[in-house]
Chain A
Amino acid sequence: AQSVTQPDIHITVSEGASLELRCNYSYGATPYLFWYVQSPGQGLQLLLKYFSGDTLVQGIKGFEAEFKRSQSSFNLRKPSVHWSDAAEYFCAVDQTGNQFYFGTGTSLTVIP
C-alpha cells in the first residue's frame, strides 16, 4: 500500500539550532513531494515542493528539503530555527496527479 511516514511525532529544538524533519514514502515511482506547515488553528501552508531536477529544493521561511531516491526520503531542514517556526509539519506525496497522501505530521516545539 502507498504510504507516507513521518517517524517523529514530536521534536523539540532550541532556538538557533538546526532542524531536520524526516519523511519517507513508499511508491513505485518517484512521486511529487511537498512539505506543508500548519500553525495552531490555521490551515496548511505550502513550504516547498519537488517535481524533478535538482534534488535540493528551497522553500519559504528559510526551509529546504532534499530528495533522496535511494532512501525514498524527502527530509526538511532549516539551519537555524526561530521561535516562530513552532508548528506542525506535514509531508505529502502525489503520484497520480489526482490526490495527495499526507503523513501524520511532526509537531515542532522551539525552546528559548
Chain B
Amino acid sequence: NAGVTQTPKFQVLKTGQSMTLQCAQDMNHNSMYWYRQDPGMGLRLIYYSASEGTTDKGEVPNGYNVSRLNKREFSLRLESAAPSQTSVYFCASRRAGNYGYTFGSGTRLTVV
C-alpha cells in the first residue's frame, strides 16, 4: 500500500548507543518531517525537509541529526542516545501545497 514506511517499529537502546530511524514514502511528496510524541505534550517537530536537498531544525532538534537521502527517504539519527529520548517517533510527508500530512505508523524507542 502507498504511504509512509518507518523502520524499525520497536527498539531498545542503551544510553550512549547510536541508531538510525528510517523513513520512506512512495507518494512523490516533496516535504518530510520527523516528530516525537510524548505523553501530555502532543507531537513536537524535530527536523523537517521542505524539499530534496534541504533540512531544517524544528522545535526539539538537540541530540538528533537527519539526512534527506533522496526524495523518498528521510532518516533520523541519534548519535548518543539518552533516556530523555525515549519516545514514539513519527515520520510524515506532505506534497507541495497546503495539504495534510501522511504519517507513518511510528517507532517506539526506549533508551535504558
Contact = CB atoms under 8 A, between A and B. Distances in A.
Given A32-B98, A44-B90, A102 B104 contact: no
B45 interface: yes
A104 B41 contact: yes
A99 B42 contact: no
A8 to B, nearest CB: 13
Interface string A25-59: 00000001010100001111110010100000000
26 contacts: A34-B100, A36-B100, A36-B103, A42-B106, A43-B90, A43-B106, A44-B90, A44-B92, A44-B101, A45-B103, A46-B100, A46-B102, A49-B100, A90-B43, A94-B98, A97-B98, A98-B48, A99-B48, A99-B58, A100-B33, A100-B45, A102-B42, A102-B43, A102-B44, A104-B40, A104-B41
